[in-house]
Amino acid sequence: MIRTVTSDPAALREADLPPREPRGQTRVLFLTFGRMGFATLGRYLERYSASRGELDAVHVKLLPTPVMSVAGASLPELRRSSWDFHNHRNMMLWGARVRAWLQGPLDLRRFDVIHVTTQHFAAGVASVLDRVKDGPRFIVQIDATAPLMQRELGMASVPSKLLARAERRVFERADAIECWSNWALASVRDDFGLGDRAVLARPGLALSEAPACGENQGASVPEPDRPRLIWVGLNWKRKGGPRLLRWHQDRWAARGVELHVVGIHASQVRGTRVFAHGPVPHDELIRDHLRAGDIFVMPTEKDTLLLAAVEASSRGLAVVTSDLAGLRESVIHERTGLLCPVRDDDAFIGAIDRLLSDHDLRRTLGREGARYARAEWDAAMWYPKLMERLGETKRRRDAETK
């Protein structure tokens, strides 16, 4: 059950929190970032915890104040140097805020387990628990680590080492480290030596509830007169939107190929045969936009995982995206889509040309993508395991404190 969902713990009343004395349920505090893809994760955590009578859950959506947003912002002139410490600054800012909550309105005596997504919001939890005897147990969920961000995502050496030191304090305090990908899990094991605490916990999607798509399409389905490329996101530049728009206008618009952009307003994206749909409800994205597409393209420059690609695969689309980080688990090269070197325009253009000219390959990748998405990324497989882990963690705590 869910007792409370809030972004303002200071406003909580006595009745909004679990009792101080346990009554058989596992009392859980979820701290989850409330923006970007983490907001979707938060909704799934709420949904699955609500269905579990053995839980008594409080969900706190972590939303930065305006001051935190300014103080934690990346500095463009330092972004490519060794001196932009915005990740570490954010970790410290959130550490102070969460620490104040746990020493104030979020009474630690009311919880058996604290679940935090991600480590960058968990420094305050770790520091408070270090000072409390027989306090709640602590689980942290991660999408990447500082060593990975240095090796694959361009983080400079100095801030990476400082961030890794802070991450280690969190990881060593955690009872379990839930990793979104095997890519992240390997780093916890190899870079931090904590593989015994690491478990794979993909941020699954509600795929089993959607109508099957892609797997049962027959070979007689005609090739569309105007193939559609589709891009979905909110960060147009970082996710490669301007590059895709340029390629489309130079090569494919005159051939009748359409480019559909979801999440970006028309004022930002203009061109021949370009259709900007703006932000749309998630159900509409799945039901209408993805289903009407032919090839999902995302030449992203910096992502740890790509759930949008998994959703596209689940709708039977072939995917073209970057050969990067955990994206290699979102898309299996030559099986569910095509992966290209991050900044290699020619490779992306060649991959898209290949799919535009080979209707059978598009459909084969789409069918395999639908099967893979349902087999590896379905929320119905991952979130019940996560909920069970909360209870197991409480039972270990109870046994060790007797």
Residue 274 has which token pair? 């370009």
CATH dotted code for 2-204+379-401 = 3.40.50.2000
Predicted confidence (pLDDT) per residue in 169-189, tens digit:
999 999 999 999 999 999 999
Specify the pLDDT at position 225: 65
Strand partners, 298: 321
Predicted confidence (pLDDT) per residue in 11-69, tens digit:
999 999 999 998 899 999 999 999 888 888 999 999 999 999 999 999 999 999 999 99
How large is the average pLDDT for residues 236-265? 96
Q: For residue 217, what pLDDT band results from cuts at 50, 70 and 90?
A: very low
- Strand pairing category for 258-262 and 228-232: parallel
Predicted confidence (pLDDT) per residue in 105-152, tens digit:
999 999 999 999 999 999 999 999 999 888 999 999 999 999 999 999
Are the C-beta atoms of residues 128 and 99 closer than 8 Å to each other?
yes
Structural element, H or E, at residue 315: none
Amino acid (1-letter code) at residue 76? P
Predicted confidence (pLDDT) per residue in 133-146, tens digit:
889 999 999 999 99
Bond into 118 cis (ω within 30): yes
Domain 2-204+379-401 matches domain 228-376 at the CATH topology level: yes
Specify the pLDDT at position 59: 98
**Phi and psi, residue 3, nearest 5°:** -90, -40
Q: Where are the beta strands (DSSP E) in 128-241?
A: 137-142, 176-179, 198-200, 228-232
Amino acid (1-letter code) at residue 122? A
Is the CATH number 3.30.210.10 carried by domain 228-376?
no
DSSP assignment, residue 281? -
28 or 79, greater pLDDT: 28
Domain positions in the chain are: 2-204+379-401, 228-376
**Cα–Cα distance measured from residue 142 to residue 120, given in angstroms and rounded to the nearest whole number:** 9
Amino acid (1-letter code) at residue 350? G
Alpha helices in 260-344 (DSSP H): 282-284, 291-292, 307-314, 327-330
